[in-house]
């Protein structure tokens, strides 16, 4: 069995990621309480300072390649127009409304309901702050803030990959599997990266580690507390990025509880406080949206095209029942979700890691596999329930939802290879 993972984490890297993720959430919070513009600007400048500090500080010299990749991604984002449909019509649409209306709740008038007005708005809120500082709206700069959100997740992952060679390999796979999705203004890449980060954080804190105290009795406990706070903000960010992020976070919760019960691990007050803090912001947002008559949509939306392979008047369960009767529909989902070259490559890497490292990493393999399998199985009823055309929905979204699975399989495969027996 491995030694306590928390004792091997790069503390300097995890602390700066903690401050970054806290600042990102604080921006959302300031918008949510209609705080003064000065506070938003100061917080945004603080976030930029943290980024600059990471890039120039000699304490992070061994993460030079990560710095280079981050800078290149920023340049690619700033040097490209926002052409992706989801980026322009959903995420930038919300950022634009927040900017012009000076309110996080501008979407509660339900103008353009097809643009998902019940979606969480952490990413658009950060974009709106940047545009406020610039002073005018454009179609390029707002999407660059997604990379500011991305950086803490990258830092968390790197803090667990102490060997720079393993870190380099991981970053290469991130670029290979994510492609343009990290710079085109979508949030799917962010969801996947935070899913990876939160899996390793939750496993380290609540599965691998037997007990965490809020009392800093020694240096080790102090370090654990820092990681705990980082995990809180990182998990909150995932829930506030996209509805899929909330689903993934709930899966992590259920898997964690399940393993604690199976392995007879104590569920203490720290566990309870942690999960309450993580889900509270999203719950509050959904309550406010529902109270104002803005309701969430599961998948797909009606743009007046009525493009569907099933009657438009069916509810979710009726659509599932009608489609599941056709074996071809199941085969079609299977082909989109499994017969994907990136998924196949990541699965082969994971299988290889399983063969070589399962004995000394049994629990982490089980934890990761349960999270991935539960998410994968959930995708079947989600796709079967879409109000949009079944094939069109699969073609437009399957490759994006796979990113979370692909990156998770790859990261944990790389991670276990750096582990040594206790």
Q: What is the mean pLDDT of residues 120-128?
A: 96
Distance (Å, rounded) from C-alpha 408 to C-alpha 422?
A: 24
Distance (Å, rounded) from C-alpha 63 to C-alpha 141?
A: 26
Distances (CA, A) of 367 to 3, 107, 150, 227, 256: 17, 38, 24, 19, 8
Distance (Å, rounded) from C-alpha 20 to C-alpha 149?
A: 8
What letter does residue 6 receive in the DSSP assignment? G
Least confident span in 34-43, 45-54, 240-249, 386-395: 386-395
pLDDT for res 304: 40
pLDDT for res 220: 63
213 closest CA partner among 2, 6, 420:
6
- pLDDT surpasses 70 at 119: yes
- pLDDT surpasses 90 at 413: yes
pLDDT for res 383: 86
Q: How confident is the model at residue 283 (pLDDT cuts 50, 70, 90)?
A: very high
Q: What is the mean pLDDT of residues 250-276?
A: 94
Q: What is the mean pLDDT of residues 33-48?
A: 97
pLDDT for res 225: 86
Distance (Å, rounded) from C-alpha 189 to C-alpha 201?
A: 18
pLDDT digits (tens, 9 = 90+) for 378-406: 998 888 888 777 888 888 888 888 999 99
Distances (CA, A) of 22 to 164, 231, 232, 254: 26, 10, 9, 25
- pLDDT surpasses 50 at 305: no
- pLDDT surpasses 50 at 215: no
- pLDDT surpasses 80 at 422: no
* pLDDT, the chain, mean: 88
Query: Both tokens of residue 369?
Result: 């596999």
Q: Which residue has the higher pLDDT, 300 or 204?
A: 204
Question: Is the C-alpha dihedral spanning 68, 74, 75, 80 positive or negative?
Answer: positive
Distance (Å, rounded) from C-alpha 284 to C-alpha 120?
A: 11
Distance (Å, rounded) from C-alpha 352 to C-alpha 349?
A: 5
What letter does residue 87 receive in the DSSP assignment? I
pLDDT digits (tens, 9 = 90+) for 354-385: 999 998 899 999 999 999 999 999 998 888 88
Q: How confident is the model at residue 308 (pLDDT cuts 50, 70, 90)?
A: low
Q: What is the 3-state secondary structure (H, E, C) of 201-231?
A: HHHHHHHHCCCCCCCCCCHHHHHHHHHHHHH
In our burial notation (b when 16+ CB lie closer than 10 A, e otherwise), range 12-44 reads: ebbbbbbbbbbbbbbbbbbbbeeeeeeebeebb
Residue for token digits 């343009």? 180
% of the chain with per-residue pLDDT over 90: 62
pLDDT for res 421: 45
Distance (Å, rounded) from C-alpha 256 to C-alpha 206?
A: 7
pLDDT for res 310: 64
pTM here is 0.92
């Amino acid at each position: 069995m491995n030694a306590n993972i928390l004792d091997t984490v790069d503390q300097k890297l995890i602390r700066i990621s903690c401050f970054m993720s806290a600042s990102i959430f604080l921006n959302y919070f300031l918008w949510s309480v209609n705080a003064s513009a000065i506070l938003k600007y100061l917080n945004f400048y603080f976030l930029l300072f943290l980024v600059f500090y990471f890039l120039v500080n000699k304490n992070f010299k061994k993460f030079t390649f990560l710095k280079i990749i981050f800078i290149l991604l920023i340049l690619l984002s700033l040097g490209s127009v926002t052409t992706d449909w989801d980026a322009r019509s959903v995420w930038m649409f919300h950022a634009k409304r927040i900017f012009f209306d000076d309110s996080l709740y501008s979407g509660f008038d339900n103008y353009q309901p097809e643009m998902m007005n019940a979606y969480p708005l952490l990413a658009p809120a950060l974009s709106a702050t940047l545009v406020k500082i610039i002073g005018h709206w454009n179609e390029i700069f707002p999407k660059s803030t997604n990379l500011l959100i991305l950086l803490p997740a990258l830092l968390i992952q790197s803090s667990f990959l102490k060997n720079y060679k393993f870190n380099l390999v991981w970053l290469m796979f991130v670029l290979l599997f994510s492609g343009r999705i990290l710079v085109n203004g979508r949030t799917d890449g962010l969801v996947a990266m935070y899913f990876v980060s939160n899996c390793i954080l939750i496993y380290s804190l609540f599965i691998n580690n037997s007990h965490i105290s809020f009392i800093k009795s020694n240096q080790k406990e102090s370090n654990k507390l820092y990681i705990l706070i980082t995990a809180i903000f990182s998990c909150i960010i995932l829930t506030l990025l996209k509805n899929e992020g909330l689903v993934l976070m709930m899966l992590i919760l259920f898997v964690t509880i399940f393993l604690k019960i199976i392995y007879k691990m104590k569920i203490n007050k720290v566990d309870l406080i942690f999960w309450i803090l993580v889900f509270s912001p999203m719950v509050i947002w959904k309550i406010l949206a529902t109270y104002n008559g803005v309701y969430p949509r599961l998948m797909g939306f009606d743009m007046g095209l009525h493009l569907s392979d099933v009657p438009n008047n069916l509810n979710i369960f009726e659509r599932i029942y009608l489609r599941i009767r056709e074996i071809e529909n199941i085969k079609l989902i299977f082909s989109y979700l499994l017969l994907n070259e990136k998924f196949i490559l990541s699965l082969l890497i994971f299988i290889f890691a399983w063969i070589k490292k399962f004995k000394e990493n049994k629990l982490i393999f089980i934890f990761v596999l349960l999270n991935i399998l539960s998410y994968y199985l959930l995708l079947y009823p989600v796709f079967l329930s879409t109000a949009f055309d079944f094939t069109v929905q699969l073609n437009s979204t399957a490759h994006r939802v796979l990113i979370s699975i692909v990156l998770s399989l790859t990261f944990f495969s790389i991670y276990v290879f750096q582990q040594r027996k206790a």
